[in-house]
Chain A
Amino acid sequence: LSEEMDHVTAEEIRDKHLQKDLDAEENQNVVKTLRGKVREKQKNSKINKDEKSSTEQLIDSKIYQRTKSPQTEVSLDESLSFFILSGEERSALDKSSEQRPVNHSYPKCFSLGGDLQNVDESEDGEFMKEFILTDLVKVKAAEYEDDQEQIKKQKANIFVPSSSPVVNQRKLPKDMMPRILEDEGFYIQRKPEIRKKTCNKMENRLLKLEEGKRWFGESGEILSLPTPIKQSWNFRLNIRKESLNPLLKTIYRKAVKCDLGSSFMNKIEGPREIYQLDLNIVGLQFSHHHLFNQEQVLCARLLHLYECFQDRQQQNVSQLLYEKLKALTDATKLSNENSEINQLTRKSLQDYNWQISNTKQLYDLERGKDLSLLRSILRTWKQIKSLRQHQGFTSTPIKLQVQRIKINKCDEQEQISEMSETEKKTEGKELKNGKKQESLSYLASDETEIERMKPITLRPQLSFTAELTSLSKCSLHEQKRRAKIQKLKYFIKIFYNNKQVSCTSISTLQLDFKVTFQQIFNIQLIYWPEVICLEVYEKSKRTSLLAKLYLPLPNYTEVKGKNILEYVEFSSHKLVMPADGEVGSNVPFLLEGNGTEELCLLTSGKLSYSLSWSLDKNGIPLKPLKSQSLRSAYCSMLRNVDARGVPGIPWLINEQKLFEWANEVRIDPNNPEYSDLMEFVMYMSLKGQDIPKYFRLEQLQNEFNFVSEEEMEKSKRFQLLQLRNAGQLDNFLLQQMPLHDTEIPDLVFQEYESQKEKEVSISDVNSIIAQRINSANFLKKVRRLIMKRTVKITKYNLSDIVTDYEKIISTSQLTDAVFKFVEPRRKLKPQRKERKQVTAQTISDGDIKILVRIVRAYNIPMRKTAINRALDMSTHLKSSISFLKHKETIKSVASEEILREDTVYPFVEVSFQHTVYQTSTASGSHPCWNEEIKVDFLSPGHDYSFSSLSKIKDNIYINIFDEMMIEKHEDHCLKSCSVHSYIRKNWLGSIVFPFSALLQQSEISGTFQVTIPPVLLGYTWNNTYVFPREDSNEQNLKECTFLNIFATIEPQISYVTYNPTLDKFLDQTEVLQRAQIFKKNCKAIFPNRRIVTTVFNDEGIQFLVTRYIKALNPPQQLLDIFLHDSNATLDLIARFVSLIPFMPDTPEENDGSDIWMTSEHCISLAIGNKEEHAVLLCNFFLYFGKKALVLLGTSGLEGHVAYVLTQETNEYLLWNPSTGQCYKQFDPFCPLKSVDCLFDDRNVWFNIQQSNIPMAVLFDYSKESFWKPLLPKNVQGTKVQSIQPEEIIYSETDKSMVEDLRNRIERTLKNKVMEWRPKCPTRWNRQCTLILRHILPKLELGRGSFVSSEGDNEFDRILQFYWVTGFPIRMPYTDVQSVIDAVYQTGIHSAEFPQTEFAIAVYIHPYPNNILSVWVYLASLVHHQ
């Protein structure tokens, strides 16, 4: 049964498709194919047709539900298994057990077809019932089935498709050839890859299916979608830092701005267009090499000659001429033959003849050249041969053969035969010299004959067939040489647009001196090719550059198609000495063959290469099309036409010019050379107006203009802001800037304007006052302007910004710090500690104090005591009454002290910025106070930086007063009555020093001379006091008072040493540079010493200081006064100079670079600084023929000063131009503290002595070990032209103006004194004033003693009734205010005594040029009671 089933099912499945339309009969046909056994059963079934059909239906109905779509194999199997089961069940039936399943199988097929079964459905109804019933009744025993059997059965049921390939016919409809689209050129997407075996299996399986063929495409393959797997793959880089390969790391490269030309223009644009140049480097061929031996030299020569010969051969000029000649002779012959000779023919004949002769000449020439060439070829060959014989080896493969050419023309047969006779032996053989010569002579003899003239038929042929002597047979030299050759290697670097792009491989030099590379380099272009350069390198032991070759750029038309090699020749002048039989390079040598010839050959050769545009796959040349883009054309044109460096903007500007030029030159538009230009012209004209005609640097500026310029100008706020920015709004500085214009008071501007105007002109009636103010303003302005132009100051030092910064210079400092912890503390040993410097930023108001310690004073004038006076008066025959009166009064004033003659009670007042501090009162003329006064100090603007502090021009006044008690009795009763005592102070003298001096020096200490008025009424000098060193001073020290003080600023403000960096000046000559260097060097040695080498004049031009020194005439008026007393004249001149008002200059301006005016300016402006005074004084002294120099140094009281040093016969004198005083070098009271620098009209000397205290300094400046000169000795002699004028012309001072000024001062002073005494009435004593007025003019020219005695006499009358104290003040005139201040300082107004009367007198002594000496005589009178 199972067997049958097997077959049936197999058949069933296989023929499924065929069975579609089968009815019962057709079934039989099919079944026939089955085995016989089955066939019989089939027959049975036929008989029981009805029955069968009923069974069919039964089963069908049974399985109907299950097998709705029985096309799949699985369901098929299921149904089959069902059949099997049912078959088994039904095997018990009386029907043959085998038959059933078969029967079943058929209906199965039908059911698959699904067509027929329904037809009989209605019939089957009844039949089915019977059948089932019988079925149910049937009972059958259990059946055993063998396992083997079962497996077999299963096998039969399971379809196993074979993996053998399927024939195409079966897959395709009949008679169709598979069509493979891919072969026809269609694009077929890739199919997913499947193993062939799998594919076959699938195909087999599909063929089994009913509509399986649908699955196959035209090509006979299974239809399938293209493979979904992408071929390209994206890989995400692993960017974890640590794992990154170091080679893959990105390296930061600074962005480099490309050359404008190349980036903007020459970059070939377009990503698509790839241009490629192919460079084929074939090899090198040396025409001379330093390793050549002589044979090779000859060989090279031969080659060269041969090449020439071949060239000529190719040109074949001689042949042409020969033919022409022949034609001409033929023509003449022909015309000769024509017997009729007419004019025409004759003419032509003549012409022919002329031509013949001409051509003959030419032909001869050419032939001669050919021959000589041939001759030299042969000669060289001979030399080679002899050389080869001589040296015994052959090192070149060269071989010359000479061939004779057979010419077929019959008329030349004869000649040929002749030739052949002579040259038979030479033919095909190495030419023997002798024979050759024969032939040559033959040729030479023959050449005259036209008929016999013929082209040279000898043809040398070079071949390289000669055998080289093998190495072993060669001489030692040659062996070495060859070894050397083999060691030599060459390579070539390729540079594209000056960048190395590639390098050939290294090739060895061959024995024939060729180097072959045979490399092709493809250069893909990004930038336009400009230069292609090859560098040939030789590499033996070391690499050296042999030659640089520049290749011409290929034409557009040169594409790869052409394979012509090009040659570039090169040579190198490198010197190579010969060693082993070679000849070397650039070295003369003798050729052995002909001893006389000396040669000197350079290494040279040629490089064979080809450079062309390459072709891509499709044969399209990868070259830029000429008209592909206007832009590139534009740029290439730029390259071609314009050699100006930067194309682009300037080009655009000049575009018009270019057009004009192009029109002018009338460029042929069709000339390919200019095609670029024409294209550009077209392009530009097309573009038209797009490009602006101008170039604007800040195109966006307009966008940022919020308002128009005029509006901006009008805006007050903006003006104010501008002013503030310029630092010219001092008074408005600390306020907020008002927001609206309406809030800005016009006053501000007015103030500013007026300030400006004031600078411009002063309208004052008095010309002197006007002049003073004008000149001061002028100078200020000039200074400001020049400083602005010249000086740049670096404002901050590290110490300014970073505090607690102790500079550590050496380790000792560190060890000190360490030892500080260890060292024993000795409480009784105080150690000096440097004061700490404080920087300005940390200081606020109240932090700074000026400390002034008044130690003691010497030789203070004493009151003229009553006793003294009485004694004095006795000589004047005073009445006893008055004497007694006097005595009484004095007694009351000074009680017992009179007896001790110690009649002065001095105290000291220190005043600064209008605050006054006072010491206690001591007694005696040598008092000791030892008191410290703390002066509070406020900086304007609360800015305590050094620069702003140094702007403070206030002076510190130290005044010595005598305190005097006056007791006034209310009534005339006796002492028991009430007594009012009044204190009055009498001014005795003062010391004044500027605050800036204190700031510069940080401390002022020492004993200074007190300036005491020339006359002190009521006081006299103590005669008893003897100065310890009186003998050394001729000066009358008895009439000098000295004060010992110490002053400092607490805390110490760090002194900023500016190093102003001067701008470079165009007129900086060598000397000025030298001066700068000199100054720098000096500062390096002694940073604290002053040195000035160059200064600016009032026009801002830098000069050497020496050019300021020149002898100048003092005013004649002064010279006339003391005609015979030269010393007095000098004093007077010094006084005159000191009367020129001073311009207060700040230290910061003082050092770095100063502005000095010429002496003439100084006098005419009547203002000057310390240096200008010194220069002026020095110039005056020089006029007297004195040896005078200007000295720069520091004074204890004045800070930085300039003195004048004069050399007397045995001593040096120091003149202070600001006071007119003269000191001797060893004067202990000379205020000069340091001597730093000297200069005269020839040189500048810097003090390099250890000590710079005047007393210790040796003033012999010729000694270079003490004084370092600016200019060396040899230069010193040459005197530089001075910038001073030849002569100063003085103008007389207007007397009326002086008088006017005097009145003004006097009036103002009187008003002021009254103003200062608001509580008391101020009485003026007319009589006394009158006397004082008389006295004053005498004081100016008088000398001390004379004046005082005279004064005494004048005063006599007054003194009888009054107790008079008073003094004259003398000062240069600067302005009224300074006079008032000086008067105020004396404190004369502060007398409290009610009955005090005052007297004031002013006298102005005029000097030329409005230089005035002001005298103010002040006196206070107390009436005797």
Chain B
Amino acid sequence: MTTASPSVFLLMVNGQVESAQFPEYDDLYCKYCFVYGQDWAPTAGLEEGISQMTSKSQDVRQALVWNFPIDVTFKSTNPYGWPQIVLSVYGPDVFGNDVVRGYGAVHVPFSPGRHKRTIPMFVPESTSKLQKFTSWFMGRRPEYTDPKVVAQGEGREVTRVCSQGFVTLLFNIVTKDMRKLGYDTGPTDTQGVSGPSLPQGFPQ
């Protein structure tokens, strides 16, 4: 469909939710989903995913590795509402209840190439000590009704949060026709034929 004037541009995102650092917690799994604007539509791939449960590595790093692949392609006519990936991490608490351990969101990188993102994660807090205790005791930590809230600015003023850990993401971005439509996103994005791309590490 490479016509003279394309009507949409495409954004291909693949990569993975690599690992996480949650010093206090273990046995976590994560969910991801995308939040995007009106003019965006996924054309291929999975918009949402839920990973396996992972335990801490036994070495010093104590990393929680998921290596959970993301592969999705969007099309759009408008960069407004650029997709964001929303991550939410869950894990069991002392009593075995599944509670949320972190929310985080980041925009999908704009420029083509390989990008690594480390997102700080946070959870909503209880409003009082008593509340905190009961929520702990009853295994019902406060959580967002919709994780997509963390990708929006609206309504956040009513919540208070507490930071928890980090999740590292790896993105490989390919865009199509963006330059043709007048959106110049990357310095190295030469039209069509690009030079030897950035030296990349081993495929993981």
Contacts and interface: CB of A to CB of B under 8 A. Distances in A.
Interface string A742-753: 010000000000
B130 A801 contact: no
Given A800-B145, A802-B143, A804-B141, A736 B154 contact: no
B193 interface: no
Given A740-B7, A806-B140, A808-B134, A733 B145 contact: no
Most buried by B among A733, A743, A808, A839: A808
B159 A802 contact: yes
Contact of A740 (B5, B127, B146, B155): B5
Contact of B38 (A733, A738, A743): A733
A814 interface: yes
A802 B131 contact: no
Interface stretch (A317-325, A790-798, A1076-1084, A1336-1344): A790-798
A737 interface: yes
A1051 to B, nearest CB: 13
Contacts of B77: 736-739
Given A796-B154, A801-B149, A817-B138, A739 B131 contact: no
Nearest to B123: A802
Contacts of A796: 154-155, 157-158
Contacts of A798: 127, 158-159
A724 B80 CA distance: 13
A817 B158 contact: no
A715 to B, nearest CB: 13
B50 interface: no
A839 B155 contact: no
Contacts, number: 86
Given A801-B158, A808-B128, A739 B7 contact: yes
A803 B145 contact: yes
Most buried by B among A801, A804, A806: A801
B140 A804 contact: yes
Given A736-B38, A795-B155, A796-B158, A817 B134 contact: yes
Nearest to B9: A739
Contact of B154 (A733, A795, A797, A839): A795
Nearest to B158: A798
B124 A802 contact: yes
Interface in B69-120: 75-78
Interface string A177-202: 00000000000000000000000000
Contacts of A817: 134, 137-138
A734 interface: yes
Contacts of A737: 38-39, 77-78
Interface string A694-732: 000000000000000000000000000100100000000
A85 B40 CA distance: 109
Interface in B145-170: 145-146, 149, 154-159
B137 A802 contact: no
B142 A724 contact: no
A803 B7 contact: no
A1089 B75 CA distance: 51
A842 interface: yes
A841 interface: yes
Contacts of B142: 802-805
B158 A738 contact: no
B154 A842 contact: no
A1088 interface: no
A803 B140 CA distance: 9
Nearest to B148: A841
Contacts of B143: 802-804
B44 interface: no
A1308 B44 CA distance: 50
A1036 interface: no
B53 interface: no
Given A802-B145, A803-B144, A817-B134, A739 B8 contact: yes
B145 A841 contact: yes
Contacts of B141: 804
Nearest to A795: B155
A265 B157 CA distance: 42
A1278 interface: no
Chain A residues touching B, range: 20 to 34
A342 to B, nearest CB: 110
Nearest to A798: B158
A212 B146 CA distance: 97
B145 A801 contact: yes
A842 B146 CA distance: 7
B60 to A, nearest CB: 25
Contacts of A813: 134
A260 B64 CA distance: 55
A555 interface: no
A738 B146 contact: no
A557 interface: no
A57 B87 CA distance: 105
Nearest to B78: A737
B46 interface: no
Nearest to B7: A739
Interface string A89-104: 0000000000000000
Interface in B14-44: 38-41
A802 B143 CA distance: 5
A811 interface: yes
A734 B38 contact: yes
A145 B194 CA distance: 97
A733 B138 CA distance: 43
A1122 to B, nearest CB: 58
Contacts of A804: 135, 140-143
A808 B78 CA distance: 46
B138 to A, nearest CB: 6
A417 to B, nearest CB: 105
A798 B158 CA distance: 5
A736 B8 contact: yes
Nearest to B157: A796
Nearest to A838: B145
Contact of B39 (A736, A805, A841, A842): A736
Contacts of B146: 801, 841-842
Nearest to B141: A804
Contacts of A743: 7
Given A737-B38, A796-B154, A806-B140, A842 B145 contact: yes
Interface string A386-404: 0000000000000000000
Most buried by B among A795, A804, A811: A804
B81 to A, nearest CB: 10
Interface in A425-484: none
A839 B134 contact: no
Contact of A736 (B41, B137, B149, B156): B41
Contacts of B124: 801-802
Contact of A724 (B38, B75, B133): B38
B130 A802 contact: no
B8 A801 contact: no
Nearest to B99: A804
A734 B38 CA distance: 7
A733 B38 CA distance: 8
A797 B5 CA distance: 46
A841 B41 CA distance: 21
Most buried by A among B124, B128, B156: B124
B68 to A, nearest CB: 24
12 contacts: A734-B38, A736-B77, A795-B154, A798-B159, A800-B158, A801-B124, A803-B143, A803-B145, A804-B141, A806-B134, A808-B130, A817-B137
Given A739-B77, A817-B137, 7 more contacts: A736-B39, A736-B78, A801-B155, A801-B158, A802-B142, A803-B145, A839-B145
By Cβ-Cβ distance, the 9 closest A-B pairs, closest first, are A796-B155, A803-B145, A739-B77, A841-B146, A841-B145, A798-B158, A804-B140, A802-B142, A802-B124
Interface of B: 5, 7-8, 38-41, 75-78, 124, 127-128, 130-131, 133-135, 137-138, 140-146, 149, 154-159, 181
